[in-house]
Structure 1
Amino acid sequence: MRGRPGVRALDAPAVMVPAVGALAACAAVAAGMWPGVRPLDALGAVLLVGVHVPLVLLRRHPGPALAALVVLALPYHLMQYQHHALVPAEVIAMFGYAVLGRRVRVVLSVAGFLLLTCVVGMAMRAGGSSVREQIAVIEGVVAVAIAVQVWRGHRARVAAITERAERAERTREEEARRRVAEERLRIARDLHDLLAHSITVIGVQAGAAAHLVRGDRPLDRDELGEALASIAATCRDARTELRGTLQVLRGTEAGPPEILPGVTAIAGLAEAARATGLRVALDDAEIGTLPPEVGVAAYRIVQEALTNVVKHAAASAVSVGLAREREGLVVRVADDGRGPSGGTPEGFGVLGMIERARSIGGTLDAGAGDGGGFVVTAVLPVKDSAPVGP
């Protein structure tokens, strides 16, 4: 496996050997100039240099390097050679293992305990001022070991914090994408319901007006005026709803409350359907006060269901019922038309109604009626959904 060029360069003996050799030379000079209890002789020099040799392999093999250094350092200290000379090598080995090794806490604790026991024992045997000097050495080694542990713990905490921050950022991005997708779907449903219904009603009304103009019988100006007035009213309602939808899309204020339709506007849908020639029976008595989201969902479901009746059903009559039951608000639209050939109509209409009902925790069923025609039944949950009545 190929590693990074920088790491391989640091691992090369050509780089490590001169650095370790310089460190060993400095340690030998210190031990020779300040011998302490026992002057540095040939055996001491061999042990001192041997302690530094494992540092060459510290990066690639931190565990064996630290173990070899401790094994060679113990006899050096036991023979009462200059203890201070090995402190830099011991500190470097401990720090390197803390950065690169495994089971750091246990290994460093064992190595530090062995060195500490050795130095304390020899210092107590020497007595006098040597005790104070060796205690200073011990304090230095222990301080470095503690500092290494603190640094290692800090690095682990920083890594954990960084990972949590990255995970939180990914979660926020996923949540933002999910919200964008949901908002786009909601806007698509609103535009579909609004435009499909309005265009369908306008098309039927315009066809009726054209039939009046082209018919053989004398033109009835009042009847033509009513047809054109219905088209104008449908255009005004569509413009109002479209403005509300565009305000949501642009992120502006929702606007006046009347822009968001509710169950009170269903009567207008029934009237518009009657203008196309359908007989519409509306039963919305005693449904009580509904949350805005339930009212909007009920309005859109009835709107889409009536649009499908006008476009596809070839029906002469349709009934629209809204009732409060224990399950919530029950919306039912049934026609006496031919019904879909495959059981459910094609297109996005029924799918949009199902999605709209599910968006507030409700359900919707659509299919052929028992006596023919097509029936849409939606159950929309409402808090305190007990029936309203005397």
Structure 2
Amino acid sequence: MVTMPRPDAAIRDALLTTLLAAAAVAAALAWPGTRPLDAGGLLLLVGAHLPLAVIRRRPALALVALVLLTLPYHLLQYQHHALIPAEVIALFSYAVFGRRVRAVLTVVGLLLFVCVITMALRAGGGSVREQIAVIEAVVSVVIAVQVWRSHRARLATITERAERAERTREEEARRRVAEERLRIARDLHDLLAHSITVIGVQAGAAAHLVAGDRPLDRAELAEALGSIAATCREARTELRGTLQVLRGTDVGGPAELPGPDAIPGLVDAARAAGLEVALSADGAAGAPPEIGVAAYRIVQEALTNVVKHAGARRVAVTLAREERGLVVRVADDGRGPSGAAPEGFGILGMIERARSVGGTLDAGPGEDGGFVVAAVLPATALSTGAPPDVPSGEEPVTPR
């Protein structure tokens, strides 16, 4: 990866290159090699340092230029050690800023190696030790660069994996929080909407008895108020159980989630609100707890919608076991979708409730009028908590 330096970095590189070239010239003059430093050697020595000033911006070009100037300098038997600092800096700089580092550094290392071997064969005598020292320096630099590059790549991989794992944990935490908020909202809506609706209808009936023209029937008024009290007690008990589940506590005994056995209580409350309700729930016997809770909540919300919006007189609640699974059906003879509340979340909550156990739900006008809610819940709950996709044939519905 090529890194574009800041202006101050370019100036600093130029100054360091000048100082390094001056030091190399001083070393070559103070300790001459097999061949004394002349004008040609001086030009090669200084020219070999110039690419270092631009190696940040053009690492490959700078390295090639340095090698082309270094090879004749060594082959002409000038002072070899004067160029070693520039070669080391060039190799390491290319390892940091360049591309295809392994291939390029291998070629450069081989060139320098061949160059030094050639010098050793030509020089002979005592200078062989000097050539061997240069070989060792070149080989060690190439090996060190490879180790440095591998270390950087390993650190980058570890950092990337750690960042990816952190992002995955954060996304998973956000997903779990969103799912939990949705579940809490769905549970509270199913519980409170039904209870408040039934209490409102029963309180309205009691107020009508008190404000009516005919003589007050104390027994009828007591029955209406008793129904309100019973609904409040049931709501309080169910709310406490829901909060115990959310808190993960068993204060006052384990929380009992409602199931098919509690559906007759929903039917009685709907009848107290003035509806004629027919119930057939034999097919729900033996359903798993998850399926039972889903069936109960769907019937609860469907009856709440009927009481609030449908203006119906009769409702049929059916829970039947079929090959597809447990079929929950609530059909009324009311106004149908025209009585739905557009801002409500009832049908959406029922759809989510069915999906949470791997089932499907459809809601819409019935063939003979009214409104029908039909859910198909699997015989056993899914092992995964991810809701399945909406079937392709399912049409969007209007919330009630």
Check whether TM > 0.5. yes
Q: Indicate which of 327, 332, 342 corresponds to 1:330.
A: 327
Comparing 24-33 with 85-94, greater Cα deviation is found at 24-33
RMSD across aligned C-alpha pairs, in angstroms? 2.7
Q: Indicate which of 344, 364, 371 corresponds to 2:368.
A: 371
Structure 1's 319 and 254: CA in aligned 2 closer, same or farther, altered over 3 A? farther
Count of aligned pairs: 378
Q: What secondary structure, in the 3-state scheme, does the structure 1 residue paired with 2:338 have?
A: coil
Q: Indicate which of 229, 249, 253 corresponds to 2:249.
A: 253
CA offset at residue 306 of structure 1?
A: 0.9
Q: Indicate which of 92, 95, 98 corresponds to 1:98.
A: 95
Give a deviation string over 1:155-211, Cα, whole Å, max 9, x none: 233223333333333333333333333322222222222222111111222233333
Q: Tell whether the 8 Å contact from 1:240 to 1:259 is kept in structure 2 after alignment.
A: no
Aligned to 1:28: 25
CA distance in 2, matches of 1:325, 1:257: 32
Aligned to 1:60: 57
Indicate whether 1:181 and 2:178 are aligned. yes
Q: Indicate which of 74, 77, 82 corresponds to 1:77.
A: 74
CA distance in 2, matches of 1:262, 1:133: 92
CA distance in 2, matches of 1:353, 1:26: 82
CA distance in 2, matches of 1:292, 1:384: 9
Structure 2 length-normalised TM: 0.85
Comparing 370-379 with 179-188, greater Cα deviation is found at 179-188
Q: Tell whether the 8 Å contact from 1:39 to 1:82 is kept in structure 2 after alignment.
A: yes
Indicate whether 1:191 and 2:188 are aligned. yes
Q: Indicate which of 198, 210, 227 corresponds to 1:201.
A: 198
Structure 1 length-normalised TM: 0.87
Aligned to 1:277: 274
Structure 1's 258 and 106: CA in aligned 2 closer, same or farther, altered over 3 A? closer
Q: Give me the identity figure in percent.
A: 72
Structure 1's 10 and 372: CA in aligned 2 closer, same or farther, altered over 3 A? closer
Aligned to 2:167: 170
CA offset at residue 377 of structure 1?
A: 0.6
Q: Indicate which of 252, 264, 269 corresponds to 1:267.
A: 264
Aligned to 1:8: 7
Which blocks of at least 5 consecutive residues in structure 2 are unaligned? 383-400
Q: Tell whether the 8 Å contact from 2:358 to 2:381 is kept in structure 1 after alignment.
A: no
Q: Tell whether the 8 Å contact from 2:301 to 2:350 is kept in structure 1 after alignment.
A: yes
Indicate whether 1:352 and 2:362 are aligned. no
CA distance in 2, matches of 1:246, 1:139: 75
CA offset at residue 219 of structure 1?
A: 4.1
Q: What secondary structure, in the 3-state scheme, does the structure 1 residue paired with 2:337 have?
A: coil
Aligned to 1:301: 298
Which blocks of at least 5 consecutive residues in structure 1 are unaligned? 386-390
Q: What secondary structure, in the 3-state scheme, does the structure 1 residue paired with 2:284 have?
A: coil
Q: Indicate which of 156, 160, 178 corresponds to 1:159.
A: 156
Give a deviation string over 1:99-128, Cα, whole Å, max 9, x none: 222222222222211111010121133234
Q: Tell whether the 8 Å contact from 1:281 to 1:320 is kept in structure 2 after alignment.
A: yes
Give a deviation string over 1:202-241, Cα, whole Å, max 9, x none: 1222233333444455544443333222111100111122
Structure 1's 375 and 60: CA in aligned 2 closer, same or farther, altered over 3 A? closer
